[in-house]
Structure 1
Amino acid sequence: MKIKLIDQLLISSILGVLLFTGCDTENNAPYVKSKDGLNKITLSLNEKGELFYQVTRRDSILISDSPLGLDCDDQNFTSGLSIAEISPTEERRETYDLKVGHYKNIDHVFNSRSITFKNNAGASMIIDLVAGEEGVAFRYRFPDNNAQQRIIKEEMTGFHIEQDAKGWLQPYNSAGQYTPAYEDFYLPVGSGDSIQDARNPSVGWCMPALFHVNDKKNWILIAETGNDGTFPGCHLQADATDGLYKVAFAKEDERYTIPLEENENAYPTSNLPWVMPWRAIIMGDQAGDILLSTLITDLAPASKIEDTSWIEPGKASWSWWSHPDDHSPAIYKAFTDLADAFGFEYTLFDAGWEKANQEDGIIDHAIAKGIKPMVWGYSSSYFDPESRKKRFKELADMGIKAVKIDFWCSDRQEVMAALQSVFEDAANEKLMINLHGSTMPRGWHRTWPNFMTAESVLGTESYFYEPRFPEKAAEQNTVLPFTRNVAGPTDYTPFALTMRQYPRVNTAVHELATAMIYTSGIIHFADSKEVFDALPIVVKKLFKDMPATWDKTECIVAEPGDAIILSRQEGAHSYIVGINGDHKAMPLKLDLTKYGKGFSKFSIITEGEDPLMEFKTETYPIATDWSYTLAPKGGFIIQFVE
């Protein structure tokens, strides 16, 4: 009779504890626990010397025994392992500021330790462990200092999720002209479910991956961070039999838009020593704990830009969504004037901008208006190091402040390395970066604060291309803050009221609220000048006042797939913003005095007579028992006022 995987892992765990001779005291046991005692990650070996780990919160298992190990071209670290050394537990403190996020100032404490393993050949592999109040993480490290090159053929890392767990996962699309670019729906799945209803053929699941575990007592988000270009971007294998989600590398054929040789493999390759990315497990009792976590940036390298005073978050006008085929100087200038009228700091000149600039000086027009110009570019123009540096210098000399680089469509290691160089070379010219058609951010907005935002999301352009988008958009808008936006700033291109090929069914307020639900260092608003000019005065004022980053955020309602309500503060501005992801009305009651301290009234923007296109604005005294009903697929925005 076959032994089930869960039974095998349980046996492995028990044997592993017995095999850790000399590890019976807390000081030399192979685990690390957060300072508050809640979160813990523990390693174990079975009788074959195979390595496993387990993650617990309050001693409840959130990730049961799951495999670790690396199979390399010259060494095997998947079996025959033994412990050579366990370092003392050390406290590390991560204190830093973010240009873009739910908070500006971060201060988190972690416990960390390193476990050194030897294989049968005597070669070393280190696993670094960290545990903090928001979760745990681990990474592999080869300490050999001999400049030898090593290739990893397979990573054994898995995440074993209990059978009854529910999750929100995005399919990882196979290589194509526009894929992979993390532009699929997050699907509601059960642990171990196969991929169904993906937008494109898919070869796995994306990270971050969200699960509701421990009999729905806890939430976890599985993510990757700290990728410095010496490793491909990773996803999860499609086959998750018995709920074991295993790490998969970028595929060899992810090269449609990047000049890579066809015969190159896509295995991780590096000289030694080699430090690999963190595999992070964010944990919380509520979904809101996941949304507010900064674990991904906590584990990323510190900022490599000494003077960041030139990096300024803001808002941008953008003509493509309303005029995708109009690349004339007139339309670009009109949107520069729109930015000026609404107090936006930036305007984005999309494809075709160079010809328009040659014809009628659209860059000079923006600069004369005090609006910072941003321009679009194709990824292949920024892949070669010398061409990239030359191009960035040319753009900076023109007075351009940021570059939107599109169509990367690959997670291969060469692309991950190129992105690090993009951030660095752009910073040397004091240019900010917006990635489109790209991989998921991995903590890079801490390391390179000039990285302001990225697409990597099924955003509002999908009203042009995806027939299922209108029906699913509201639901997705209440899932993405707990998944995609946790990974990093999100260029969702919000607002977008004009009807497109696939007509919108979310209310106008819902669409407006997404600009304040997602975080993006530069918010690119999508719609026409006519729509903006026709807005009520209160909504126009909101556009002028609305921050692009926040000092403080609280989750009031956090129900992925159903609803999200946030309290947001920046400087003297204080808001509550909410959206309904369901087709049913949602009643709610809030104590506004808790969030509006120092204010006497609040102005609220809700649905107008035509919910799809119109707004209603009213002002009331702050109440302790404010009641409201969120419209189906609707939203609201409260701004506290004197």
Structure 2
Amino acid sequence: MRYIIFLMGMLIASPTFAQNNVEVASPDGNLNITVSVQQGKPVYAVSYKGRIMLENSPLGLTTNEGDFSTNLSLVNSETGEVDKQYTQRKIKQSYVEYTANTLTVTFENADEKQISVRFQVSNNDIAFRYELPVWGETLSAVVEKEATGFRFPSSTKAFLSSMMEPMTGFARTAPSYESGYVADEALENTTAEYGYVFPGLFRVGDDGWVLLTETGVSSQYNASHLSSHHDGVYRVEYPHPEQNNAFGSTGAQIGLPGVTPWRTITVGESLKPIVETTIPWDVVEPLYEPSQHYEFGRGTWSWIIWQDNSMNYKDQVTYIDLAAAMDFEFILIDAWWDANIGYKKMEELIRYARSKEVGVFLWYNSNGSVNDAFQTPKDKMHTSIARKKEMKWLQEVGVKGIKVDFLGGDKQTTMRLYEDILSDANDYGLQVIFHGTTLPRGWERMYPNFVGNEAVLASEMLVFVQDVREKEAFYAALHPFIRNSVASMEFGGVVLNKYLNKGNEEGQERLTTNAFQLATGVLFQNPVQMFALTPNNLDDASGHELNFMRELPTTWNETRFIDGYPGKYAVIARRSGQSWYVAGINAEDEPKKLNLDLSFISKENGKMILDGAQGLSSRQKDISLSDGTIEVEVDHRGGFVMKF
């Protein structure tokens, strides 16, 4: 990794600010931020190529040491540059060059206490955070709430997922970032009682796009979300008091000097900067060194289709054999393994998996005190003493990773639990997947052994809920532009059964085609993918479908937006080594013809899997890019994949 920061500081004293107005632009000059104070309140505005993307929007914090949202004056500013290069195996881009102009603006309140806001502006991305100094002899503070907001032009349309009501849902485990979405919704209609999760996507006029999220959340702060739209503004809202059974602070306890997480704004005339952004990782750094070289890849997972009854020795052997037959690297063994298989027999099962060159992930219930989740193993992950004892055993028997479930809530106490699990797991050489969870906020880079969060209406809901099956294509056509744009997404997909049950019989019927399912294996990015294939697929799936899954990478060197519109259709290209994969899906009511520009691909010949002539089937054909373009017709709820 190369990391170089050039600072060109220019301290400007307060008399310079006769107009109380400072600006910073991106390196290419297209993205601009203006910061000012209006009637004692700090605000900022964002424009792109001269067009307003965010009108004057509020800034500020309220702490137990003072209010920094009103009665402020702008006292100085400092400008600079950041030039940074880094490599990261677990995200959409393996090598990143990040160049930004910086502006640090310092405000002073009526008590003569100061606070700064640091902005970093790259060509399509803004990241900003609050920086709190030492105030006299005060070396600690509590940040109680933020005034930070986002005021869009009134004609803007929203693409948002609502925050779940705390202590509801299965075993009172909510919120877990598993709600549906509204799309192209008027701002005045986005009034969900508990607000909206990050990220949020917005269409400004006909050709402007803005993506909002946050990054850099660790044990040192709480996570946040967007409020409902009120008085023309979405605000950064801290966790609701009812989370964690109403225990724990909703704000952040920090040492001074201290900083908040970054709030990020990605802006573009098209969806290309939205899909390709790396800002969640550009502004964070690893918090510790990996204890070993972690391997990523694909896995089998019996629970998603065969459910709880499959947590037995025989069925897990069958799924280990499936992983071996598919050349997959892992198997995930889910809840109840301790009760139905037992620790001693599990050691035998792990040895069998190792003989087949299949690594094992084991499921754990995170809970010990905050909800009613009852699945076991339980009471193993929520305290340091129990966790280290369990992880020592996991290391001794050769387990590769753990999946920890039911971590609803965004309070700082929960962020500490995430970090404690990750840090301890690294000490024992374990990778970690979280389910029933919040959005990962820069964690792929911050925590070397982190390999994905659910934080989405994922494949399990396809099994349980008819409405989710009916909207599968709609949601899948949103994720590349919103949820999966800012973080890895452990979806657990690619279902090739016609019915989502063990017998592949009448019941939960899948409504999307096989080619659609294969496409999600490329569209949905996560360094460790636990797929929903079943043993019967070795006999009933087409050979070209199985071969595609045998070769499918889970880590990528490059990602490109090709075409699409959120909730309607999506086409993404990803490169692994010298191979390009192009995947697309159609969520619209009619078949869709697409003329795709793939001129960036140097290879002329490839293969494509596309929708078959009838039913859910697929077919494969040879394709050519002689002029750099290709025409594809995609069925309703259909898809395609290409490999060059």
The verdict on a shared fold, with TM-score over 0.5 as the criterion, is: yes
Note if 1:377 corresponds to 2:364: yes
Q: Hey, what's the Cα distance between the residues in 2 that align with 1:445 and 1:72?
A: 30
Deviation at 1:272, TM superposition (A): 2.0
Q: What is the Cα deviation at residue 113 of structure 1?
A: 2.5
Distance 1:222 1:628 in 2: 32
* Residue of structure 2 equivalent to 1:563: 569
Q: 2:153 aligns with which of 162, 167, 186?
A: 162
Shift of 1:230: 2.1
How far has the Cα of 1:309 moved from its partner?
Answer: 5.7
Residue 11 of structure 1 corresponds to none
CA distance in 2, matches of 1:268, 1:342: 46
Is the CA contact 2:160–2:183 (under 8 Å) kept in the aligned structure 1?
A: yes
Aligned residue in 1 for 2:200 = 209
Distance of aligned partners of 1:504 and 1:147 in 2 relative to their CA distance in 1, 3 Å threshold: farther
Are the structure 2 counterparts of residues 333 and 510 from structure 1 closer, same or farther at C-alpha, using a change threshold of 3 Å? Answer: same
Partner of 1:113: 103
**Residue 280 (structure 2) aligns with:** 296
1:30 maps onto 2:22 in alignment: yes
> CA, structure 1 residues 595+131, in 2 after alignment: closer, same or farther (shift >3 Å)?
closer
Q: For 2:114 and 2:448, how far apart are their aligned partners in 1?
A: 35
2:235 equivalent to 1:243:
no
Q: Indicate which of 218, 241, 244 corresponds to 1:255.
A: 244
Shift of 1:330: 0.8
**1:351 and 2:335 matched:** yes
Change (3 A) 1:264 1:307: closer
The answer to whether the 8 A contact 2:249-2:411 is kept is no
8 Å Cα contact 1:453-1:522 kept in structure 2: yes
Q: In 2, Cα distance between the equivalents of 1:226 and 1:31?
A: 25
Please tell me whether residue 615 in structure 1 is matched to residue 618 in structure 2. yes
SS of the aligned residue for 1:100 comes to coil
1:268 to 239, 247, 252: 252
Distance of aligned partners of 1:590 and 1:279 in 2 relative to their CA distance in 1, 3 Å threshold: closer
Report the Cα offset of residue 37 of structure 1: 0.9
SS, match of residue 573 in structure 2: strand
Q: After superposition, what is the alpha-carbon deviation per residue over 1:545-570, rounded to whole angstroms, capped at 9, x for unaligned?
A: 11001112221113111111122211
In the alignment, is residue 491 of structure 1 matched against residue 486 of structure 2? no
Superposed, 1:188-587 pairs within 5 Å as: 188-195=183-190, 202-213=193-204, 215-238=205-228, 240-256=229-245, 262=246, 264-300=248-284, 302-307=285-290, 310-325=293-308, 326-354=310-338, 355-357=340-342, 358-359=344-345, 361-380=348-367, 381-498=380-497, 499-500=499-500, 501-587=507-593
TM-score normalized with structure 1 length: 0.90
* CA positional deviation for 1:596: 4.2
* 1:286–1:558 Cα contact (<8 Å) kept: no
Amino acid at match of 1:603: K
* Aligned residues of 1:375 and 1:404 also touching (Cα < 8 A): yes
Contact 1:170 / 1:205 at 8 angstroms: preserved in 2? yes
1:80-99 C-alpha deviation (Å, 9 max, x unpaired):
21123212x21112311112
Mapped contact 1:513–1:579 kept (Cα < 8 A): yes
Query: Given the alignment, which residue of 33, 38, 53 partners 1:41?
Result: 33
- Deviation at 1:150? 1.9
Q: 1:603 to 1:129 in 2, by over 3 A?
A: same
Q: 1:428 to 1:205 in 2, by over 3 A?
A: same
Cα deviations by residue, 1:272-325 (Å, 9 ceiling, x for unpaired): 22210111101112112101100111122x123435762122011111112102
What is the aligned-residue RMSD (CA, Å)? 2.1
Per-residue CA deviations over 1:165-206 (Å, capped at 9, x if unaligned) read 11210001111213111101121143433358x8xxx51111
Q: Tell me whether 1:597 sits opposite 2:591 in the alignment.
A: no
Q: CA deviation at 1:455?
A: 0.2
Alignment CA distance shift 1:305-1:153 (3 Å): closer
Inter-partner Cα distance in structure 2 for 1:329 and 1:469: 31
Contact 1:186–1:476 (Cα < 8 Å) also in 2: yes
Structure 2: distance between partners of 1:469 and 1:77: 44
Distance 1:467 1:314, change over 3 A: same
- Report how many residues are paired: 603
**Structure 2 vs 1, CA of residues 591 and 195 (structure 1 numbering), >3 Å: closer, same or farther?**
closer
Q: Secondary structure at the match of 2:490?
A: coil
Quote how far apart the aligned CAs of 1:394 are: 2.0
Alignment pair present for 1:54 and 2:35: no
Q: Work out the CA distance in 2 between the residues paired with 1:610 and 1:178.
A: 41
CA distance 1:192–1:620, change in 2 (3 Å): closer
Say if 2:643 is the partner of 1:639: yes
Contact 1:162 1:191 in 2 (8 A): no
**Deviation (angstroms), 1:126:** 1.2
Q: 1:132 to 1:22 in 2, by over 3 A?
A: same
C-alpha distance 317-603 of structure 1, shift in aligned 2 (>3 A): same
Residue 178 of structure 1 is matched in structure 2 by 173
Give 3-state SS (helix, strand or coil) of 2:243's partner.
coil
Report % sequence identity: 27
What is the letter of the counterpart of residue 355 of structure 2? A
- Residues 120-150 of structure 1: per-residue CA shift (max 9 Å, x gap): 1111211111100121121112111745332
Shift in alpha-carbon separation, 1:607–1:50, aligned structure 2, 3 A: same
Match of 1:98 in 2: 88
2:277 and 2:486 in contact (8 A); partners too: no
Cα separation, 2, equivalents of 1:52 and 1:299: 22
Quickly say closer, same or farther: Cα 1:123–1:552, change in 2 above 3 A.
same
Q: Provide the residue aligned with 1:125 in structure 2.
A: 115
Tell me if structure 2 keeps the 8 A contact 1:519–1:548.
yes
- Do the aligned residues in 2 keep the contact of 1:591 with 1:623 (CA within 8 Å)? no
Query: Cα gap change, 1:20/1:245 in structure 2, threshold over 3 Å: closer, same or farther?
Result: farther
In structure 2, C-alpha distance between the alignment counterparts of 1:344 and 1:24, rounded to whole Å: 64
Amino acid at match of 1:561: G
SS at match of 1:344: coil
Counterpart amino acid of residue 333 in structure 1: V
CA distance in 2, matches of 1:73, 1:305: 31
AA aligned to 1:627 is E
In structure 1, runs of 5+ residues without a counterpart are: 1-18, 257-261
Contact 1:163/1:242 (<8 A) preserved: no
CA–CA separation in structure 2 for the residues paired with 1:171 and 1:220 = 18
Q: Take 2:247 and 2:417, find their aligned partners in 1: how far apart are those partners?
A: 19
CA distance in 1, matches of 2:248, 2:222: 13
The 3-state SS of whatever aligns with 1:481 is helix
Name stretches of at least 5 consecutive residues in structure 2 with no aligned partner: 1-12, 368-379, 501-506
- How many Å apart are 1:476 and its aligned residue? 1.0
The C-alpha deviation readout for 1:608-627, integer Å capped at 9, x for no partner, is 34432x22112244443532
Partner of 1:9: none
